[in-house]
Amino acid sequence: MVHPGIFQQTYDRFWSFKTPGERAASTPISWIALLLIIMSHGLATMPSAQAKAGDIVQDTAHWRMLCTQLWIASERALALDNFAHSATVEVVQTL
């Protein structure tokens, strides 16, 4: 379970930085992993037709690919963060 208030604060702070470099330098990678898995699950639970109607994806194949890519990106972020040695709240929530 994700604490909505804390997640929203971090999300707002993340987007307050003007460049990707500033975001990367100021945001824990474990939080990036959490954001990616939330995006993956959110998209996966959205019917592909709804995602297409919202101009998120082009078609069902694109919907499947994007869900998978977000999941893999989250796993890679956790690996980069060496998650086995840091049991942060974000790591636990992502897993």
Q: What is the pTM (predicted TM-score) of this model? A: 0.81
Which pLDDT does position 92 carry in this prediction?
A: 60
Measured in whole angstroms, the distance separating CA 31 from the mean position of its chain's CA atoms is 8
Q: Distances in Å between the alpha carbon of 2 and those of 22, 41, 78, 91?
A: 24, 13, 17, 11
Which pLDDT does position 24 carry in this prediction?
A: 87
Please say whether the beta carbons of 86 and 66 come within 8 A.
Answer: no
Closest by Cα among 78, 75, 92, 72 to 30: 78
**Tens of pLDDT along 73-89?**
999 988 887 766 666 66
Regions of the chain with pLDDT less than 70? 83-95
Which pLDDT does position 89 carry in this prediction?
A: 62
CA–CA gap between residue 68 and residue 84 (Å, rounded): 22
